[in-house]
């Protein structure tokens, strides 16, 4: 059973629609007791600013259960966009502490490397370059890529980067460290590639 964290950040129903199409059992995690419903994987969505996401999550009553299921039980956990960024300890975007699940940094995309026709936020479709093979990107059309909407990114060591993209500099697009997976673009907005990506996560 895939648990989609419902903490008021991110379009959880878009993920639900994809999993309904795929016929994959899933549920929303909006209360601590929901975690006991045979959850085997977790998706942490996110949109907007880092501080707002962390404040909302900390006020949701879900933080302790998330730490238990992610860090102690080591369930495969996917962070999406800001949901991926808050895996880190902190971000240049704000002052709140992140979840601290990974030791990577969240930094602003470097304006000095962007041409005049490349605004921030980085918004729209971009392809991906595979750095390390992983079941998560099986069957993905790398040239079609994914839909992005962000001004900040998680910087990562090369061994943790499944795929990267280019927008001025390089962007960590898809990430893996142990049971933690991250995707900077939005699979729920990325048509057939997004559907395949979420299926791959569900099949891990």
How does pLDDT run along the chain (204 residues), one tens digit per residue? 999 999 999 899 999 999 999 999 999 999 999 998 799 999 999 999 999 999 999 999 999 999 999 999 999 999 999 999 999 999 999 999 999 999 999 999 998 888 878 899 999 999 999 999 999 999 999 999 999 999 999 999 889 999 999 999 999 999 999 999 999 999 999 999 999 999 999 999
- Residue recorded with tokens 């993905």: 140
Q: Which helix (H) or strand (E) holds 43?
A: strand 41-44
Helix H or strand E encompassing 161: strand 161-167
Residue of 188, 142, 201, 160 lying closest to 10 (CA atoms): 188
pLDDT for res 36: 84
**Catalytic annotation, residues:** 81, 186, 188
Number of H helices, E strands in the chain: 5, 12
Q: So what's the pLDDT on residue 180? A: 98
Record the tokens describing residue 34, joined without a space.
Answer: 């929901």
């Amino acid at each position: 059973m895939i648990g989609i964290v419902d903490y008021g950040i991110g379009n959880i129903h878009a993920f639900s629609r994809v999993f309904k199409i795929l016929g994959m059992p899933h549920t929303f995690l909006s209360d601590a007791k929901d975690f006991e419903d045979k959850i085997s994987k977790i998706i942490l969505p996110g949109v907007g600013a880092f501080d707002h996401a962390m404040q909302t999550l900390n006020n949701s009553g879900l933080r302790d259960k998330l730490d238990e299921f992610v860090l102690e039980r080591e369930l495969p956990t996917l962070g999406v966009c800001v949901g991926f960024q808050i895996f880190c300890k902190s971000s240049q975007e704000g002052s709140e502490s992140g979840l601290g699940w990974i030791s990577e940094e969240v930094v602003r995309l470097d304006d000095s490397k962007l041409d005049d026709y490349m605004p921030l936020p980085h918004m729209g479709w971009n392809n991906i370059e595979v750095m390390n093979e992983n079941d998560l990107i099986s069957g993905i059309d790398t040239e079609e890529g994914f839909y992005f909407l962000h001004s900040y990114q998680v910087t990562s060591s090369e061994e943790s980067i499944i795929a990267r993209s280019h927008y001025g500099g390089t962007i960590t697009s898809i990430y893996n460290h142990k049971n933690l997976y991250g995707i900077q673009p939005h699979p729920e907005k990325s048509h057939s590639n997004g559907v395949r990506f979420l299926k791959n996560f569900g099949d891990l």
